[in-house]
Amino acid sequence: MGHPAFAFQLARESNWQNEGVVKGADRKGLMEDPVFKAAFMAAKARIRNMDYRFVEETDQNTQALLEIYCAVVLSTPYNDFKTH
């Protein structure tokens, strides 16, 4: 089973205080928790129902700058730019 990163992030955010979820558990451990797994499935359903918009930018440097600019200007909470 694939584990989409955005759905995982939404599920973790919605359950971070839930008693059924072990704080600090790794991804595999969380996916074995039935409460977290239900939140993950709900997050995937939520994402499937979202509307999407995009801008095509073929130049890699401009694409990176555009993504950072949009994240800052739009205050997007899910763009962290961390190396995973």
More confident residue, 14 or 38: 38
User: pLDDT tens, 34-76?
Assistant: 888 899 999 999 999 999 888 899 999 999 999 999 999 999 8
What pLDDT score was predicted for residue 51? 94
Domain extents in the chain = 5-73
State pTM to two decimals. Answer: 0.68
Q: What is the mean pLDDT of the chain?
A: 83
pLDDT grade, residue 16 (50/70/90)?
low
**DSSP conformation letters of the chain:** ----HHHHHHHHHHHTT-TTS-TT--HHHHHHSHHHHHHHHHHHHHHHT----------HHHHHHHHHHHHHHTT-TT------
